[in-house]
Amino acid sequence: MRLYSTPPGQDYNRGSKHIGGTYMSRNGIAFLVAFVVSILIVVLIDRLLRPGLRGLLEQIVALPAATEFYLRAFAVVLVLVAIGAVLGNRPDLKDGARFMEYIWAIAAGLKDVFQNLFAVLLVYVGLMSVLIAALRRRQ
């Protein structure tokens, strides 16, 4: 099974790594590693922020359905932003690429992930601050 296409007349195994019975291109390996690492980063951020965010929302909003909605919306936005950042990055590894070039290609993809997640977290903190200020005045 091929996971990439090659021009006619070119060797299918050239410029690829043998992984579990399939051949995967260098760019595919860099993309896959960046994708997995970005999902792990999102899970870590979610697990670190969820308990405090849940407590804050339960105290301020006082509606269990709203708390669940905001937490799920937060998780969905984090996942979609991370996936979008990884999909937007196109590693360009040439034949004969060294190991460090893989690392740099993965780091370039993760740079976009961190940048976009930082922006999402800033916007979410701003929205939560507005929500807290508005609901505290009402109470």
pTM value is: 0.71
Distance CA 109, CA 132 (A): 35
Closest to 35 in 3D by CA, of 98, 71, 72, 88: 88
- Tens of pLDDT, residues 107-126: 888 898 999 999 999 998 89
Q: Please check whether residue 36 is in contact with residue 16, taking contact to mean a CB–CB distance below 8 angstroms.
A: no
- Tens of pLDDT, residues 49-96: 999 989 988 888 888 898 899 899 999 999 999 999 888 877 777 777
